[in-house]
Structure 1
């Protein structure tokens, strides 16, 4: 094309067309400018300002139409060349084109996968993952993840006979630190595709790559990146099962116990452990002594922290709270002569002024989880030892304070700012399932007045937390034969019922329309 101006203008209009493009629009555009002409211009017209970026954006939108995607199989050589070019924009387009091919092949994915295999596309995607810029690496990962969604695609990524060129473990060993992190990020993405893919990754020992990077903690940034990937991995539904079969928990525990480690690494390790141990299923795959050792590492860290280590302290409390959301986790946190949950309970009612606000807030939310606010009704109460330690620690905390009783502690936190009140509602909602706590709540009229007052909270989340707290107290009252039979508590039950009947949000009493009578104006 001697004069690309017309193509440039048309491609710009097509790329910037507002809304979705129809197949008819794509067909009309290609009738004017056939695909070979566009590709040729992209490959030869390097000196035309703005042409490359415009054509890349145009082709991106074109291939995202069903008609445009149907043309991709005819232009696989273009995809091959695009994946190997020096232009990052064209590389990105080529990676996206592979994804479009897999998404829009009229449900015949086997044809698409065969085209990718025959054109040797997968090794080129890996090269883009390692050597491309951040955007290219991201879209290359998306394309490989899409490929892994098909059984034939998994065979390309994980061939039965290991091939050095594409074997991810060997591939990672030859990369720079950035390249290794990108390979590990790909492994995590593939892990999330399905349980079958996760099983393949586990059998391929690819999770050991993560373990190796954690052990080699010379580069803080790399270690932090790997911990972020582990945090993502721990959230995947089937991740817990496979991670529990590795030494990840022990490695994370060693990071927490290592005083020479950066504080941010210890904090991330604690958050990962909290996320993992918040799921009851992990206790089916992990030995209890291992979990106890992990909890002990956080307990030991909390004991060694200075008052200035506020951020790490808050993270440790949050991680204990996450563990406590599961029945097994809460039980272990409240077991033994010195239960780890003591740190949470002490901090929850320790008002240290503005400097300790975050610590108290984290502790109250953690106590809400441990006491069962997030668990189903049938799973709130724990075993006898855990329940006795919970009761003892709260009464012990009260006796050491100026409030003297648990009811005094509860009222004191309800009288603080909105964030603390929100966490307090959650804590009371969980604890009030215990008869001793119900008696403490009902023994102080100010607590009932506070939680039933619809104008106390002004935010949606605060209103809902207060309302749920009312429902939890009312439910416990109803179930308690001792309290419900006492006429002295009838007024409390009625007040709670009235508050619940009003709903969670501020309800103004109905105001009747009043007629206004005015004297007529006279001359």
Structure 2
């Protein structure tokens, strides 16, 4: 046996190469492969030599090589070896084969379909999909990435989701005959594919693979499996294509039923609220669904908060945050304020009644969202009924408190800890567009002095929020009838000085002061 063919020598060289610090260069990869060619390394993986660390060292070495440009250029000739590696007994070798396919597809010319052609020619698809059900999570993850890369090309989509009659859809076949865990994994891939492109989303949708979503959601009695499914629905809701799919499946109605069911575990109710909030924070949703479905969701969250009574719980925070997300869009905010009774009352009560630090912060941020702090200028103000309700709720909250006025409420909140103040800056910036709130803020000297003081905040985020609040107050003042009011001239001057100074601590010029002391005498 020649030295270079000695398994111990290969293990030592591969170990040294794999553990070398820093990124691997093309030159280093080529130099190593000149001494230890790929066929030799693959043979070492297939051998039964009992050399400690041989397999792990060779796998780590090859993973580093394939990440280089030089190594990637050699991947086409590695596909026959990958076919054997995908069905190897060792999970390390199976993972390496999956990663090799992943890198090959990532670096191949997708327009020409070279990578897809090689996958089909070498019969790798069935083995890759089988690896999705691998007992080793690392192998399954590597196979998942390979499938995602395959779906990024038109030809790859055709391979994964064949449209011709009689052709087997291996992905769907596996999903139908595997454990719940593997089905969740496959559905997770489907959720990821929806975000790639509308073409990819259409291929997944037409395949019928997603019908298992409903079957799994209806049939499972396992809370963990249900929670995993809801997590996937949350991912679907994050993309326009995914949201469109969910809306065609009457998802809002189903989720509203989950939220309002007190016998359902709070974790499931919370996740259902988050999915609904993510969907209802999209403008396009309101033209695609029946308004009654939206109202049912809002009513379900309302009932949930009514039962929770602002307990310091994660579910209560999520409910308030969900209302804030829904209020990000004009239609959502109007429904929150125009319902009977207005669901927004929970947000205002949480913000102003000091039910606990986290609850108060969640309520204040949610009220800022409903008021339009994140909306464009054209959609910031709501319809007359919603605006009237917003004003009445805030004034009622003030009158029912010891503060007696919104300006005193704002000032009280500004005197709290920094995290709460960030929410208050957002709230004032959103509400101050309304003349009634502008008057409340500008007539309270303490508020103006605080927000225009560059030393009120010490953190970068706090300084930026404070400055943004100044800008919002100034813009509203300059656009209002109060701009020529002598009573607010000093306020306008302070705001403009604060805005020009920027968000961060103003540089105050300090002159050196001479120190004169009497000479000490003994």
TM-score range relative to shorter protein: over 0.9
Alignment of 1:214-363 (within 5 A): 214-306=217-309, 308=311, 310-352=313-355, 356-363=356-363
Task: Give the Å deviation of 1:318.
Answer: 0.4
Which deviates the most, 438-447 or 422-431?
A: 438-447
- Pair 1:155 & 2:134 matched: no
1:220-272 Cα deviation digits (max 9, x unpaired) = 11111111112122112432222221222122111101111110110011111
C-alpha separation between the residues in 2 aligned to 1:297 and 1:202? 29
1:49 to 46, 49, 52: 52
Shift of 1:278: 0.8
Secondary structure of 2:237's counterpart equals: helix
Please give the residue correspondences for 1:406-425 in structure 2 after superposition, counting only pairs within 5 Å.
Answer: 406-425=406-425
Q: What RMSD over aligned residues (CA atoms) do the two structures have, in Å? A: 2.1
* 2:93 counterpart of 1:93: no
The CA deviation at 1:510 is 1.4
Tell me if structure 2 keeps the 8 A contact 1:145–1:190: yes
Aligned to 1:40: 43
Equivalent residue number for residue 380 of structure 2: 380
Give the corresponding residue for 1:111. Answer: 114
Q: 1:299·1:340 contact (CA, 8 Å) conserved in 2? A: yes
Which residue in the other structure is 2:447 paired with?
Answer: 447
Q: Of the candidates 130, 134, 147, which is equivalent to residue 131 of structure 1?
A: 134
SS in structure 2 at match of 1:370 = helix
Q: Distance in 2 between matches of 1:518 and 1:442?
A: 48
- Residues 148-202 of structure 1: CA distance to partner in whole angstroms, max 9, x if unpaired? 0100000001100366853544431211111111111111121122111112222
Q: Aligned residue for 1:512? A: 511
In structure 2, distance between residues paired with 1:459 and 1:231: 33
Distance 1:78 1:345 in 2: 64
CA distance in 2, matches of 1:273, 1:369: 16
Q: Distance in 1 between matches of 2:341 and 2:387?
A: 14
Closer/same/farther in 2, CA of residues 164 and 215 from structure 1, 3 Å limit: farther
Aligned with 2:186 (options 170, 179, 183): 183
Aligned to 1:433: 433
Which residue does 1:20 correspond to in 2?
Answer: 23
What is the CA–CA distance in structure 1 between the aligned matches of 2:310 and 2:373, rounded to whole Å?
A: 29
Q: Distance in 2 between matches of 1:472 and 1:97?
A: 54
Alignment length (residue pairs): 517
Structure 2 partner of 1:403: 403
Of stretches 210-219 and 377-386 in structure 1, the one that deviates more from structure 2 is 210-219
Matches within 5 A, 1:476-495: 476-481=476-481, 483-495=482-494
Q: 1:357-387: CA deviations, max 9, x gaps? A: 1111100000111101111122210111111
Q: How far apart, in 2, do the equivalents of 1:192 and 1:462 lie? A: 35
Tell me how far 1:493 sits from its aligned partner. 0.7
Output the CA distance in 1 between the equivalents of 2:112 and 2:33: 25
Pair 1:475-2:475 in alignment? yes
Deviation at 1:519, TM superposition (A): 12
3-state SS of the aligned residue for 1:228? helix
Gap change, CA 1:90 and 1:507, over 3 Å in 2 = same
Q: 1:423 Cα shift? A: 0.4
**Cα distance in structure 2, aligned partners of 1:228 and 1:148:** 22
Deviations for 1:302-324, whole angstroms, at most 9, x for unmatched residues? Answer: 11225546221111000000111
Deviation track 1:481-514 (CA, whole Å, cap 9, x = no partner) reads 2x11210000111111111111111123112355
**Contact conserved, 2:111 with 2:153, CA < 8 A, in 1?**
no
Q: Is the 8 A contact 2:126 2:170 kept in 1?
A: no
Structure 1 pair 142/462, CA: closer, same or farther in 2 (3 Å)?
A: same
Note closer, same or farther for the CA distance 1:163–1:20 as it changes in structure 2 (3 Å cut). Answer: farther
> 2: CA distance between counterparts of 1:495 and 1:421?
20
Q: Determine the C-alpha separation between the residues in 1 that align with 2:162 and 2:368.
A: 48
Asked if the contact 1:215–1:251 (Cα under 8 Å) also holds between the matched residues in 2, the reply is no
Offset of 1:47 from its aligned partner? 1.5
What is the CA–CA distance in structure 2 between the aligned matches of 1:347 and 1:108, rounded to whole Å? Answer: 55
1:61 corresponding residue in structure 2: 64
1:442: how far off? 1.4
- C-alpha separation in 2, matches of 1:47 and 1:513: 78
8 Å contact kept, 1:330–1:370: yes
Report the TM-score when normalising by structure 1: 0.94
Query: CA offset at residue 516 of structure 1?
Result: 7.4
* Alignment check: 8 A CA contact 1:22 1:65 kept: yes
Assess if the C-alpha contact under 8 Å between 2:323 and 2:366 holds in 1.
yes
Aligned 8 A contact 1:467 1:503 in 2: yes
Q: Which runs of 5+ in 1 are unaligned?
A: none
TM norm structure 2: 0.94
Q: Distance in 2 between matches of 1:16 and 1:518?
A: 66
1:410-458 alpha-carbon deviations (Å, 9 max, x no partner)? 1111111111111011011000010111111112111111211221211
Contact 1:46/1:52 (8 A) holds in 2: no
Distance 2:354 2:375 in 1: 27
Structure 2 unaligned residues grouped into runs of 5+: none
